[in-house]
Amino acid sequence: MSTKQVAIFYGSTTCYTEMASEKIQLQLEKLFSQADQSVDVAMFDIKEHSLEKSTHYDLVIYGISTWDFGELQEDWESTWEDIKTLRLADKTVALFGLGDQLGYADWFQDALGMLHDELIILDCNIIGYWPNEGYEFTASKALSEDEAFFVGLSLDDENQFELSDQRIEQWCKQLVEEWESDSQ
């Protein structure tokens, strides 16, 4: 049996997205280990690693935070044009984002939605949509068409830090289930 390859690519200015990536990595490693599956979970800061590297993995997870009034995190902003060149057709992709739902209620998780919109046109299979429950915000570009889900895990370490670990744990279980059913 060959080892499946999972990679988390993130941009992080204040370390919150990096810390979330580390928690996701640990949770996935734990889940795969419990299931006796041979899976490597690598983590890459996009400031130091090209996004092109993500095309070499079986499951790719991208982490992004929204800044100020719906703006991209600086590392994502500097590599944004590279997204269009990624060969992700038939790849499985999941997304997570960090944002401030109270301080920036009109732009909550906008960068997550913008990243989703760039990736979806590349013919990848996006998994890990997350319920839009338990959040207080006015508007978001990261909502599904029916607005029932975010297009990826939504974290708010500014206002709901105490919920992040539980959300990450639930989301990782969901990812593993969706990825396994997608692979069959």
Q: Which class in CATH covers the domain with range 4-183?
A: alpha beta
pLDDT at 3: 80
Does the pLDDT at position 22 exceed 70? yes
Residues 18-32, mean pLDDT to the nearest whole number: 96
Task: Dig out the tokens for 103 from the structure.
Answer: 């301080």
What is the C-alpha to C-alpha distance for residues 31 and 18, in angstroms, rounded to an integer?
20
Share of the chain above pLDDT 90, in %: 91
Closest CA to 63 of 33, 43, 82, 87: 43
Least confident of 30-34, 129-133, 170-174: 30-34
* 100-153 tens-digit pLDDT: 999 999 999 999 999 999 999 999 999 999 999 999 999 999 999 999 999 999
Q: Could you read off the pLDDT of 65-112 as tens digits, one per residue?
A: 999 999 999 999 999 999 999 999 989 999 999 999 999 999 999 999
Residue 184 has pLDDT above 80, yes or no: no
Structure tokens at 40: 């490597």
Sign of CA dihedral 1, 179, 153, 27: negative
Q: What is the pTM of this model?
A: 0.96
Domain boundaries, the chain: 4-183
